Amino acid sequence: MDDKAPKNPLEDPPPPAPTPSNPAEQYLAKIIRYVPGSIIAGYTSMFGLVTQAGPYQLYLSWAIFGFCLLLAPLYVMFVPDSIPNNKDCSKRFHVVASFLSFAVWAFALGGPFASLSWYSSVYGSLALIAATLLMPLLEKVLMLINFFKSEH
């Protein structure tokens, strides 16, 4: 009898852990952890609705981007539990990180930026990767400044 075979023939081995199929998805997942989920959900919902706006679609897309860009840090400042509780990191850092991360995330998705003649999804992916790599470094550097040190 083979020792590697399941003891009970009705038992299936556990499935392997899911892994993102696209490396860009891994970077998206890492960068959006700095952005409140409500902002992500609101942006994607509003942006989906704007596709039906006809001639005003571009203007509304930019307005939605600007609205959510400004709203992200406000959510971090004033809405409890909008970011994960991290004792090593101050809320002030998360305010800055939410603003920058939302901008990079939206740029990587295209959105209103896709209307710009110079925009390419390659630029969005490169910005996303760079921001994901730089954000932990930015956190460490800003934590050296008294203003950004944890309030705990």
Residue range 11-32, pLDDT digits in tens: 554 454 455 566 667 777 888 8
Residue 10 lies in a domain: no
Token reading at 110: 């295209």
Closest to 31 measured CA to CA, from 91, 118, 107, 85: 107
Alpha-carbon gap, residue 130 to 117, rounded angstroms? 22
Residue 151 lies in a domain: no
Q: What share of the chain has pLDDT > 70, as a percent?
A: 78
- Number of domains observed in the structure of the chain: 1
Residue 17 backbone dihedrals phi, psi, to 5 degrees: -65, 140
pLDDT tens across 87-124, in order? 556 788 889 999 999 999 999 999 999 999 999 999 99
Residue 14 lies in a domain: no
Residue 66 lies in a domain: yes
Q: With contact defined as beta carbons under 8 Å apart, do 122 and 141 qualify?
A: no
Residue 13 lies in a domain: no
Residue 136 lies in a domain: yes
At 144 the pLDDT is 85
Alpha-carbon gap, residue 84 to 59, rounded angstroms? 33
Closest to 91 measured CA to CA, from 137, 133, 135, 143: 143
pLDDT reading at 130 higher than 70: yes
Closest to 27 measured CA to CA, from 127, 118, 143: 127
Residue 50 lies in a domain: yes
Which structural domain, as residue segments, surrounds residue 39? 23-78+86-146
pLDDT reading at 2 higher than 90: no
Q: Is 94 exposed, middle or buried (0-12, 13-18, 19+ CB in 10 A)?
A: buried
Residue 8 lies in a domain: no
- As a whole number, the mean pLDDT across the chain is 82
- Its pTM stands at 0.78
- 3-state SS class at 49: helix
